[in-house]
Chain A
């Protein structure tokens, strides 16, 4: 349905220009409107078809609205359909005209033909005109009670449409209640499935405003409802099965037997021909068994075959979607596909998006036993297939080399790449050899010999050139020609367009100078003067910096520019585990394809149902995390490229700043807050911000600047009774950092008094209570019955922190706490204190 706005599109001369034809149509339609002559429907059809075809190619035919409506009095269903289509398209831009249609749509909603009743109701609900809402209520109510299931199916989604036009009308008319009744009682499977879909959407959207709605949302994943759906699984259409399975994956069974029952019941779904059903089933299996380690592993074994079949059969698009999921799984359990690596070999004419994912899979499944075969295969691609894939293959070889212990064979291969004399192969290989040398300096002998024979003229790509130059500087002792190659590169300084390369050149010539001063002196002078005259600010600054360093003291300069280095043991992982967990929670959705949690690519109002706030990382943190900054930071974090960017020049940092220290704090600060963002936005509505927070955040800034008035650590013997600082403060960033660093000191389960359960309607009540006991909350989340809290407390006399994760399930009256502490010896004492505080909850 092309909207009228489109008419500006350039039209070919053969297409009707619009105006004349449209007014012709208008007169013709008017003539037919009142006619009852036989065969009039046929002529109407011709005209309607014309109108629709104009509409389709983008000509504005809204001016015949009135005539169309007049002509719509007809028993002919195709005519009606065309008319509905027309009305649906233009109603939104012409709300006044839309009012005209209400009458005949309402009449059609009472037609004796169920097909017409259904179609009319659908059109009526699709008008999306707010001031017509009052006319929807009646027909919808009748539609939901219609004897024909087709009409009911349509009516159910009609309710959802109404909700999006006017949520208050929908709720006030108690349509959700009717839907719930239908969902549990209607004999027709499609009606039931649509009810479920509609209710999920309505209650999820309402949950932030009303406790009732959030309770209703919880009720959808309660045992009776889940069992009701599970037992009827077979009658649902394949798409509805996906919806139901998605719901089941949220269910938390009470014991292991239940888990096994559900899995046995659903086992056959893994054989469904529809890949979407299979993936949805897999999601259920994985999520149900999360807490059962052995079974979880067995699940991986069980789902292997169906997944591999989905990859190798079906459309390339399906392979793409499934491979994305495989990649996620393989990251969690690398062993599962280790012996099936051959399934990820690329076929010659597969689309490159499939090949790319397959290469990622090959990289991920490589281990001691299959590396040789995989690398051999990758080398074939490097020589055979199209250039982008060849590059990816070489990078894949490099990644495998960096994750393996035994790299002998791989190094040989990489060196062979260098000798292949294809520019792009050489370029990629150089970058990899550089990374490899940073991790395995012991290979320098072999590599340098080959690298030394490469003519720098054949290397044009900035990244590769930078890598080569880095090696020239780093190994100038071993490479005879190093000073001279550098010299010739410096001679062509002005032709070098990449600032990255020029920066590397400066550093490399410095390093070379420290080792072979007489040969390099001239080159160094040239480089520094060229650098000082450079237009690029960074290059200029670095040249100046080096110049002054040298002026000040050459040996100091050496210790700054070329300090002894340690091999890099692990290159930074690009995604935090919280993010990975979030993606896993959203298994079988776009998150997996994008490798990003959904909040990073959807708007708030488009979040799907059941994005629970009680999941890990999903916490409302009091600190103000800048939401708009987050995505850009993530782009950085997602950059999987192993090559160091210009900013990461480890050689210019002193030994104290070893390696990635420069970017580390940035990264650490960004990722946890990012992971908590969505929730913050979701929860902030329901969580009035804690009173203590304001003071905390200001305190946090002091802390960052190191201005904390450190109370002198009192070496006094520990008092028998642990005393807590009632004004303790800790900023969320530090909390997250500590939580990750500290090991678990104590983990305990205990029951909560019935009074406590009764009092715990929202997280806030408990927060206030615990604050009274000097235990402060830093983050909380969840809805009844599952709550999750992160608390912290500080010893009264010294800045020693206790961190607590507390999960409370009100339906089972159980609490589970995990304590981490700076001073582990007192963690038991603290635990007692915490429990006694919690036990008093609800009594006051």
Chain B
């Protein structure tokens, strides 16, 4: 670690200190607050500010979550990537404790917040950031604690992400394979960028210290085993694993074996940079009939097999900010004008494969325009959707074995889902 943080701050939306924890005594809260309130006041949109800023010898690194800023201050040349990530972990921990992290929940639970800040970092160096582990020695409801506290086993044993002695009546594992499709189509209808980011999200409710083994239709593995893949094997780029996975083992023989943490975690993530066909294709034609009327015609086409169906499809169409009197007709679903986003949102509950739907909308424009029209921000069309029981990459879980020395039988539940990530089509 290149350097230590001096202090952690939790600030409200105006940049005032709610709670802070001093670790090294070289940055004061007055100093930080004075800087940060000015800093966010200065900009109309604090979100456009660099998350790492420097002011008279101190580096401030911050992230925003709801109406709270989390900020680390340091006087040293510290590891920016690591501290920013640490702040995000802190958000996860707070969320675990208070359901939602916001100003109110911090105020209501300040004692626990102090306790957490005390354990999560010591002298400016990150210590324990696993909410599950922390929760074993910092209880939310302090009044219920009757037994004297012991530092949990996990703090002291090699499997730092799981404690011993976990018990469930029913042993179950839920595995969600979630793929997000990112796509960018330019105004000529060309796909200029597409990739798929996949994640294996697990929720485990298992007793004891279970050994898990996961089999995927991984091309490298299947070929190594001499099985000829019949177009079923997939080639995953750049896989990343949760710290519980034995990486060396994966390097050797591509087996994914691990002792899972208790509860929800991302077992692995991967990325496919192969070009994918846009699952939902949207074309829009904008016609300005006169100076006072604008007509938008939109065609949305699903480009996946008939047996799959996309759900909760939302197509956000940008419209001029001064448009009024929407008059919309759709061949499916419903459309609502959202003037706060300068957009028309077309929602389709269920969108089966190989179908095409239409939307036609008319807006009035003011006949008198401002002398200096505000520069247009041509937003792209954005699409959200989910397609259950389907993955773009074709990844399949071949098996998920769970072995525990007590010999219980655990049920694995596997689910596949594909959804839109950053899915943008630029208007012509």
Binding site for B on A (CB under 8 A): 1-3, 5-6, 42, 45, 49, 52-53, 56, 75, 77-78, 81-82, 85, 92, 113-116, 118-119, 122, 128, 148-150, 153-154, 157, 160-161, 164, 188-190, 194, 197, 201, 234-235, 237-239, 242-243, 246, 267-269, 271-276, 278-280, 305-306, 308-309, 312-313, 315-318, 320-322, 324-325, 342-343, 345, 347-348, 351-353, 373, 377, 380, 383-388, 422, 424, 586, 588-594, 598, 601-603, 606-608
Contact = CB atoms under 8 A, between A and B. Distances in A.
A824 to B, nearest CB: 41
B75 A271 contact: no
B52 interface: yes
Contacts of B241: 271-273
Contacts of A280: 79, 82
Contact of B187 (A75, A380, A606): A380
B256 to A, nearest CB: 11
Given A268-B248, A309-B238, A606-B75, A190 B149 contact: no
6 contacts: A81-B118, A347-B184, A388-B48, A586-B77, A602-B57, A602-B77
A318 B1 contact: no
Contacts of A153: 122, 127, 155
A278 B85 CA distance: 12
A13 B186 CA distance: 56
B195 A312 contact: yes
A85 B50 CA distance: 33
Contact of B81 (A194, A279, A373, A601): A279
Interface in B110-149: 110-111, 114-115, 118, 122-123, 125-129, 137, 142-143, 145, 148-149
B2 A586 contact: yes
Contact of A75 (B148, B240, B268, B377): B148
A42 to B, nearest CB: 7
A325 B24 CA distance: 28
Contact of A268 (B61, B193, B247): B247
B19 interface: yes
A237 B160 contact: yes
Given A52-B111, A197-B125, A422-B375, A188 B25 contact: no
A318 B424 CA distance: 22
Given A2-B29, A589-B79, A590-B78, A81 B114 contact: yes
A603 B57 contact: yes
The 6 A-B residue pairs with the shortest CB-CB distance in the complex, in nearest-first order = A276-B82, A268-B247, A598-B77, A150-B151, A321-B81, A239-B126
B115 A52 contact: no
Contacts of A234: 246-248
A606 B182 contact: no
A342 B186 CA distance: 12
A309 B268 CA distance: 13
Contacts of A75: 148
A52 B50 contact: no
A190 B155 CA distance: 8
Interface string B268-294: 110100000000000000000000000
Contacts of A309: 197, 237-238, 240, 269, 271
Contacts of B269: 273, 309, 313
Given A273-B241, A352-B48, 7 more contacts: A42-B143, A56-B110, A77-B145, A81-B111, A317-B88, A320-B84, A422-B375
Interface string B188-203: 0000110101000000
A273 to B, nearest CB: 5
A238 B160 CA distance: 10
B239 interface: yes
B30 interface: yes
- How would you classify the secondary structure of chain A's contact residues: helix, strand, loop or mixed? helix
A488 B115 CA distance: 71
A320 B115 contact: no
Interface stretch (B212-220, B226-234, B378-386, B391-399): B378-386
A597 to B, nearest CB: 9
B122 A49 contact: no
Contact of B59 (A114, A269, A424, A590): A590
B21 interface: yes
B3 interface: yes
A164 B266 CA distance: 40
Given A85-B114, A150-B156, A312-B197, A589 B78 contact: yes
A77 B137 CA distance: 10
B150 A114 contact: yes
A271 B240 contact: yes
A474 B137 CA distance: 75
Contacts of A387: 375
B129 A239 contact: yes
A194 B127 CA distance: 9
A148 B156 contact: yes
Given A267-B251, A271-B239, A318 B84 contact: yes
A385 B48 CA distance: 13
Interface string B170-187: 000000000000101011
Nearest to A346: B184
Given A45-B142, A276-B79, A239 B51 contact: no
B80 interface: yes
B370 interface: no
Contact of B85 (A5, A53, A274): A274
B103 interface: no
A52 B54 contact: no
Interface string B347-383: 0000000000000000000000000000101111010
B250 interface: yes
A154 B125 CA distance: 12
A313 B421 CA distance: 10
